[in-house]
Amino acid sequence: MVVVFDIGNTNIHIGSYKGHTLKKQWSFPTKKNMPVRKVKAILADKRVEGMAVASVVPRLTRLVRIHGRKLGLPVNVVSTKVDCGLEFKYHDPKTLGADRIAAVVGALTRYARDVIVVDAGTAITIDVALSTGDYLGGVICPGMHILSEMMHDKTALLPRVVVKKTRTLVGRSTEECLQSGIFNGTMFMLSGLVREIRRRHGRDFFCVATGGGGELVSRHVEDVERFDADLCMYGALIIYYRNVSSLKK
């Protein structure tokens, strides 16, 4: 089995894979300290043969790598320094987040098509890649919870609201107006961006959503064709398999 870590700014997702099949998964909030006891228990399984890590929290990346090395396990950390099977059309690939790389690799592997990946987490990222492996670039937008906090923190009178779909587009209270602006504004923005990317590139991109808000996005944005919960972990797994022989040397 390979244990995969998807370490984000809000949550840590861990999955154990047998071959390409997800057998078990765990999720924890990202805090100052990794749930060390739980991680040690997961890695203590004698069937574990390696680890894959896609992380945007460098301190936790180092901690996971240390645990793996102590157990003598090969650890592959997703970055542009390892073989990802992608050709980056990005001005500075080193600045590209591991989660974005992994999600794109996961989508290209699973769907074998030109893809648009919408990862709705703390921030919302949109990444565009061709079936040939060319990574074209993307878009980064604030997530809905960031918008909610920002509207409250940066104004004197606007309240903090729960992010949710409103019954009507036009709100009839300040709370409803904020909720509509955040929720509907985000959904219309994503729909418009996906359509415009398809138009400008002249390609029928397959659009898949992932991340904590990915299911919500897939239900309310017609242009998103599928929700894929473990896309980032799966991509990190594929990158592990591409590099495992060199890790064992």
Residues known to be catalytic:
99
Name the CA dihedral angle for 64, 69, 73, 75, rounded to a multiple of 10 degrees.
50
What would the two tokens of residue 183 be? 């929720």
What would the two tokens of residue 143 be? 């997530």
Q: Which residue has the tokens 């009178």?
A: 157
Round to whole Å and give the CA distance between 178 and 174: 6
Q: How far is CA 186 from the centre of its chain?
A: 17
The total of other beta-carbon atoms located within 10 Å of residue 120's CB is 26
